[in-house]
A and B are shown apart, each in its own frame.
Chain A
Amino acid sequence: MKGRNGIIVAIVALALLVGAGVQAAEPIKVGAILAVTGPASFLGGPESRTLEMLAEEVNAKGGINGHKVELFIMDSGANPEKAVSFAKQLIEEKKVLAILGPSTSGETMQIKGIAEEGKTILLSCAAAEVIVNPVAKWVFKTPQKDSDAIQAIFNQMKSMKISKIGVLSGNTGFGKAGKGQIEKLAPENGITIVASEVYDKASTDLTAEVTKLKAANVEAIVNWSIVPAQSIVIKNARQIGFTGPIFQSHGFGNIKYVEAAGAAAEGVIFPAGRLLVADVLPDSNPQKPVLVKYKNDYEKKYKEDASTFGGHAYDAFMILAKAIEKADSTDKEKVRDAIETMRGFVGTGGVFDFSVEDHNGLGIDAFELLTVKDGKFALYGK
């Protein structure tokens, strides 16, 4: 009886394995590990849609250097063990040229070693500094540096003569990384963190937390989070009568968060990529054409507002495409070198200048200080 079980298993296994052995030769294979569903789906959803849109667009024009792009998007659901399994699959079986993503910092760190061992390019859409610092040969990231965003906030605070702040951060990788950077950079900017709390990404009410901050007499609140719950912080803070400025992170870059916060979002200040205010940029701005095109294409195709999260995926894909063009080859080493030597690449997150020591390529000027006016994103101070 059990022997029969065994034979059935063997046959099924054999069938699966043989079926999976077939590979195509011509197209450029690109893998993507994204959190399309699950607790980070607000990241992975826009990212995967952006990649699908771009792959279609590129293939409609005949591909890159005449090779069509074959995109494999795998949904990790923000589970690191799936990311590990998919990374190995993509690198060893599908033999992809590069992996775009993952969406979260935790997953990226788990597969960093695998990408290095497999000598495959990894263009992460996650923000943690530790992804590219210290630098690993094959690993790059497209989101801007947290430390730059925080410095931009601190610069603004200094001009507003604010020195005592309260910090609220989400319990995700993004929140944790930001909190760490805030604590690190505060002293040299003359800012004192009077109170600091970490809140759960599934929180439904944060009145108690903001009350604690208000009671500590903070002059401003920094709400560093990428999860939807950040909107609740804003609402609760205004409801309990906190009138000081509220600073957000670039994780606020999705109009849905503004909608969820309603009227309370007015006047919030945050550093972000220029995608959100693409239309009101001066025409002389080098990013404007790229931003406006991406925004319009995305909104037309998916009937929802473009967000900076999708923008990180856009940058990853287009950087890879440009590198392949530049290297005029699909050899992994050559493409990797092409990325590392890329300067002045205009993306949604900013203008990228890669180098051997800098696998992110963005500086503080990638950020624009934005605010919310009449329920829409607007440039701050203009």
Chain B
Amino acid sequence: MNLDLFLQYMVAGVTYGTVYGIVAVGFNIIYNATGIINFAQGEFVMLGGMTAVTLGRFLPLPAAILVAVLVTTAVGALIEILFIRWLHRPSVLRMIVITIGLSILIREAALHIWGESVRALPYFTGTSVTSIRLGGVYISPQVLWVVGIGAVVVVILGGFFRYTLLGMQMRACAANRDAARLCGISAKNMVTLSFMLSAGIGAIGGCIVSPITYVAYDSGVPLAIKGFTVAILGGLGNSLASAGAGMLLGILESLSISVLPAAYKDVISVAILLGILFVRPSGLFGSIEAARLKEF
């Protein structure tokens, strides 16, 4: 395979890698605050995209996306308050099952609200055929938007956690809940906030990627699975690593087409997941300490 072909595969890999990374970041935020793996994360992405498409009919695109993100954030808060907040020291099993159930319910609700048809947002710049040519490689401008906005989100998130009071409070809660409570931080609110952040980020992901692909009521599940493969690959709890791991998985999948039939592409990500779980569950970049199961 020549360089151009290789680079084109890389572009493809980076494109979906960014999406996986965004979903994984969402997982990590909630995981850090609560120790829960939120199986409904993919549904946040789906809701963001679907809501934006519906709003896009009467609002200009940027406004539609903004409102969609806000609406999804509100849904995230609602879910946390209704289903999670008042649980008292639930077991891991219980939490897993609840989020699985939530994922199903949100999906079925989306089906009955929006029907089964697929939708897509218009491209932010250009159309579905515009592409920028660099040498022998073609890149759609939307890909640049995806990677660009993805990078911005990761950077802002990092800054939020490191430099703002709220971010530091969330980190405190994640590190040691009881100590944080003793300092006057409301652990319950931090949990709600983490759900809201996750939902919002998921929604952004859904909006930026929907022009390239499409959204439908069941787009959430495959994304969630890839998303937590990436989260575990990078090390649960480590958002930056998720971004990197996302790229890695995206590129691996993309390159796998050249040796395996595309029909087995999804087996790659699951095989990687199982491999990591068996060999090094703390992930590539995670610490064994952080990977230990957290108490909720």
Contacts and interface: CB of A to CB of B under 8 A. Distances in A.
A273 interface: no
B117 interface: yes
Contact of B138 (A42, A231, A241, A257): A241
Interface string B125-154: 001111101000011100000000000000
Given A204-B209, A205-B212, A263 B5 contact: no
Interface stretch (A90-98, A142-150, A232-240, A275-283): A232-240
Contact of A264 (B8, B115, B129): B129
Interface stretch (B31-39, B92-100, B259-267): B259-267
B120 interface: yes
Interface string A215-254: 1000000000000100110110011110000000000000
B116 A262 contact: no
B28 interface: no
A89 interface: no
B216 interface: yes
B254 A42 contact: no
Contacts of A256: 117-119
Contacts, number: 123
Interface in A89-140: none
B213 A42 contact: no
Contacts of A37: 111, 116
Nearest to A255: B117
A106 to B, nearest CB: 16
Interface stretch (A14-22, A54-62, A195-203, A355-363): A195-203
A39 interface: yes
A181 interface: no
A294 to B, nearest CB: 19
Contacts of B207: none
A203 B257 CA distance: 13
B12 A171 contact: no
B5 to A, nearest CB: 5
Contacts of B263: 171, 197-200
A215 to B, nearest CB: 5
A234 B128 CA distance: 9
B56 to A, nearest CB: 12
A81 interface: no
A259 interface: yes
A257 B15 CA distance: 22
B8 A260 contact: no
Contacts of B140: 239
Interface residues of B, number: 48
B238 to A, nearest CB: 24
A299 interface: no
B80 to A, nearest CB: 27
Contacts of B60: none
Contact of A42 (B13, B117, B133, B223): B117
B68 interface: no
A212 interface: yes
B111 A240 contact: no
B208 to A, nearest CB: 12
A262 B118 CA distance: 13
A209 B257 contact: yes
A208 interface: yes
A41 interface: yes
Nearest to B251: A208
Contacts of A259: 120
A200 B265 contact: yes
A14 to B, nearest CB: 32
Contacts of A205: 12, 15-16, 212-213
B285 interface: no
A208 B216 contact: no
B296 interface: no
Contacts of A171: 263
B129 A45 contact: no
Query: Which interface residue of A203, A238, A240 has the most chain B CB atoms within 10 A?
Result: A240
Contacts of A228: 118, 214, 216
Contact of A304 (B12, B117, B127, B131): B117
A240 B9 CA distance: 11
A204 B116 contact: no
A151 interface: no
A232 B219 CA distance: 14
A48 to B, nearest CB: 11
B5 A204 contact: no
Nearest to A231: B214
Given A261-B128, A262-B123, A42 B118 contact: yes
Contact of A211 (B12, B131, B133, B253): B12
A207 interface: yes
Interface in B169-225: 209, 212-214, 216, 218-219, 221-223
B131 A45 contact: no
A239 B128 contact: yes
Nearest to A37: B111
A241 B130 CA distance: 9
B131 A204 contact: no
B15 A207 contact: yes
Interface of A: 37, 39, 41-42, 45, 171, 197-200, 202-205, 207-209, 211-212, 215, 228, 231-232, 234-235, 238-241, 256-257, 259-266, 304
Given A204-B16, A204-B223, A212-B258, 4 more contacts: A45-B116, A200-B265, A235-B212, A263-B127
10 contacts: A205-B212, A207-B15, A209-B262, A228-B214, A238-B129, A240-B138, A256-B119, A257-B118, A262-B128, A264-B127
Which 10 A-B pairs rank lowest in CB-CB distance, beginning with the nearest? A262-B128, A41-B116, A207-B12, A263-B127, A204-B213, A228-B118, A198-B263, A264-B128, A240-B138, A208-B257
Interface of B: 1, 5, 8-9, 11-13, 15-16, 19, 111, 115-120, 122-123, 127-131, 133, 138-140, 209, 212-214, 216, 218-219, 221-223, 253-255, 257-258, 261-263, 265-266
